[in-house]
Each structure stands twice: as structure tokens, then as C-alpha cells.
Structure 1
Amino acid sequence: MKKHGILNRHLSGALAALGHGDGVLVCDAGMPIPDGPRVVDLAFRAGVPSFAEVLDGLLAELVVEGATAATEVRDANPAAAELLDGHFPTLALVPHERLKELSAGARLVVRTGEARPYANVLLRCGVFF
């Protein structure tokens, strides 16, 4: 049994299968999930687990070389925008409709219980060397 890090077996296994350039969509409870990517649904109740908790846990285990979020996050969810800016100084912003299109190419979708709008980010995996 693991003693630290991500304990959810489905999520831990999905992360281990990722490679350089793979996309991981971390999304709120309302984001439409496209057919295709593997989905690990962590949503339990509205707000649980939060977008911030899940993102922080993923970033502790993943190498990320880029991130894309919706432009709308700036006005609709300043807390999420601040969190994303803190983690990704070169955060790419696209319209929400474009983010939904890009999410179809993700290898993994991690759905949180977040109930605030536009708390979504598409991560691009990097390599540790």
C-alpha cells in the first residue's frame, strides 16, 4: 500500500501511464467530458474535492511543460485564475469553447467536485530529464 502521494488507485495508475506531450484535463463538475479520454471522476459533493486540492496533488506528481485554460476564468472565477497564474507563469488562454474542443485530445480527464465556473485547465505533460 502506498503511504503518500495520490492514493486513488485509478488515478495513480492513469498518471503512471502518461507520457511526454499527453494532455490531462483537470475540470470542474460542470465541464462536459468528451468521449475518448480515460476519466477519473473524483467528484463527491459540490465543492469536494476542490479544483485547487486536486490540481495541487497532480502537480506534486506530474512534470508539466504547459497549461491552457479558458479566457473567461479571469472575470468569472478570479480565485481559480490566481491559482492558475501562480502555478503557470506562461498560462495559455483560449475561449472556453476552444478549451472544450482541445479537451477531446486529452489522454486523461480528472473531474473534481468544484462548483465554481471555469475551474478547468488542460495540462501538457513534460519529462523529468
Structure 2
Amino acid sequence: MKKAGILNRHLAGALAELGHGDGVLVCDAGMPIPNGPRVVDLAFRAGVPSFAEVVDGLLAELVVEGATAAAEVREANPAAAGLLAGRFTELAYVSHEELKELSAGARLVVRTGEARPYANVLLRCGVFF
């Protein structure tokens, strides 16, 4: 049994399958999930687990070379916007509609219990060397 890091077997296994350039959408409970990508649904109750908890847990285990978020987050959800700005140096903004379109190309979707709007980010995996 693992003693640290991500303990959820489905999420840990999905992360181990990712490669350079793969996309991982971390989304709130309300984001429409496209057909295609593997989905690990962590949502338990409204707000649990939070977007911040999941993003931070993923960043502790993944190499991320860039991220994309909806421009609307800056006005509608300043807390999530601040979290994203503080975690990613390579952060691009697109419209929410474009983010939904881009998410169809993700390899993995991780749904959180976040109940605040636009708490979504598409991560682009990097390499450790």
C-alpha cells in the first residue's frame, strides 16, 4: 500500500499512463465532461474535494509544462484565478466555450467537488528531464 501521494487507485493508475504533451482537465462539479477522455470522478459533496486540493495534489506528482483556463475565471471566481496565477507560470486564457472544446482532446479528466464557477484548468504534461 502506498503511504504518501495520491492514494486513489484509479487516479494514481491514470497518472502513471500519462506522457509528454498529454492533457489533464481538472474541473469543477459543473463542467460538462466530454466523451472520450478517461474520467476519475473525485466529487463527494459540494466543495469536497476542493479544486485547490486536487490541483495541488496533482502538481506534487506531475510535471506540468503549461496550463489553460477560461478567461471568465478572473472575474467570476477570483479565488480560483489567484490559485491558477500562483501555481502556473505558463498559463493561457481562452473563452470558457473554447476550454470546453479543448477538453475533448484531454487524455484524463479529474472531476472535483468544487462548487464555484470556472474552477477548471487544462494541464499539459511535461517531462522530468
TM-score strictly above 0.5: yes
**Residue 39 (structure 1) aligns with:** 39
CA positional deviation for 1:128: 0.1
Query: Is 87-96 or 10-19 further displaced after alignment?
Result: 87-96
Aligned CA RMSD, in angstroms, stands at 0.4
Gaps of 5+ in 1: none
> Matches of residues 1-129 of structure 1 in structure 2 within 5 Å?
1-129=1-129
Corresponding pairs, count? 129
Secondary structure of 1:110's partner? strand
Percentage identity across paired residues of the two chains = 88
Contact 2:65/2:90 (8 A) holds in 1 = no
**1:9-58 deviations in Å (ceiling 9; x for gaps):** 00000000000000000000000000000000000000000000000000
Gaps of 5+ in 2: none
Give, in whole Å, the separation in 2 of the partners of 1:43 and 1:26.
11
Give, in whole Å, the separation in 1 of the partners of 2:105 and 2:50.
24
Give, in whole Å, the separation in 1 of the partners of 2:91 and 2:79.
15
Task: State the TM-score, normalized to the length of structure 2.
Answer: 0.99
Moved over 6 A (4+): none
CA positional deviation for 1:90: 2.6
Q: Which amino acid aligns with 1:108?
A: L
